[in-house]
């Protein structure tokens, strides 16, 4: 991989590990998908290779849609590894509770608009949480971790994306979850017409009802 410093593990996830390193004197994130012993080795390799290629393509597609994402410097298909730009900034997860009300609502509107750009371009993030959004020092909000993403314009997929974000707000930022989600929808409405927004919100409510039904039956 060229001039790569000793990587430092910063996050160990269910599917992949993230390392911080220097590559040709530039700070980078190395995302490496780890083998799963419960899968057949050949199948496991195929899955990791596919997801590595697919994620790097989605990161590039999101950028074309006008959504800031890390630059991908290298994709090592054989080792299921992506080397990408390290974004200096703060996770939105840590910002929402410390900024002013106006700043929080403005940030959420910006996030909503970016989600709208993704969806209008046929990209579903798949793991929309405030942990996967980073506000850089220049004010841009970057979306990261497209490992569960997909290309589709399906209404159900859009609804699931926003439902997941709403649940994330309720669990992590419960004091202002409602106002944040409303601001996100305002930003989303900058991209889509009112009819489309209503359809997506109807789908979010339908997904919520399904969840309650399952919980009650359980």
* 3-class secondary structure, 118: helix
Give the rounded percent of residues in the chain with a pLDDT score beyond 90: 89
- Does the domain formed by 8-85 have CATH 3.30.200.20? yes
Q: Whole-angstrom Cα distance, residue 45 to residue 123? A: 25
**Which residues carry out catalysis?**
127
Separation of first and last alpha carbons in the chain:
50
pLDDT single digits (tens) 158-186? 999 999 999 999 999 999 999 999 999 99
pLDDT at 13 exceeding the cut of 90: no
* pLDDT bucket at 212, cuts 50 / 70 / 90: low
pTM: 0.92
Percent of the chain with pLDDT over 70: 95
Domain spans in the chain, listed from the N-terminal domain onward: 8-85, 89-217
What's the pLDDT score for residue 1?
55
Average pLDDT over residues 141-155: 96
The chain-wide mean pLDDT, for the chain, equals 94
As assigned by CATH, the class of the 89-217 domain is mainly alpha
Instruction: Express each pLDDT in 98-121 by its tens digit.
Output: 999 999 999 999 999 999 999 999
DSSP 166-210: HHHHHHHSGGGHHHHHHHHHHHHTTTS-HHHHHHHHHHHHHHHHH
- Which of the pair, 15 or 115, is modelled with greater confidence? 115
């Amino acid at each position: 991989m060229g001039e790569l410093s000793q990587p430092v593990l910063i996050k160990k996830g269910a599917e992949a590990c993230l390392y911080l390193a220097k590559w040709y004197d530039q700070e980078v994130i190395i995302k490496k998908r780890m083998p799963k012993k419960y899968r057949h080795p050949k199948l496991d390799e195929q899955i990791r290779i596919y997801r590595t290629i697919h994620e790097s393509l989605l990161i590039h597609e999101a950028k074309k849609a006008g959504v800031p994402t890390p630059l991908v410097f290298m994709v090592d298909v054989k080792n299921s590894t992506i080397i990408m730009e390290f974004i200096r900034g703060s996770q939105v997860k840590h910002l929402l509770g410390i900024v002013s009300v106006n700043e929080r609502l403005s940030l959420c509107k910006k996030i909503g608009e970016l989600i709208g750009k993704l969806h209008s371009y046929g990209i579903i993030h798949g793991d929309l949480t405030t942990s996967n959004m980073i506000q850089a020092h220049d004010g841009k909000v970057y979306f990261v971790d497209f490992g569960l993403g997909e290309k589709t314009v399906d209404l159900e997929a859009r609804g699931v994306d926003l439902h997941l974000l709403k649940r994330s707000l309720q669990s992590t930022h419960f004091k202002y979850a409602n106002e944040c989600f409303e601001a996100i929808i305002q930003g989303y409405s900058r991209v889509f017409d009112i009819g489309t927004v209503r359809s997506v919100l109807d789908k979010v409510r339908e997904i919520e009802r399904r969840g309650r039904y399952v919980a009650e039956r359980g």
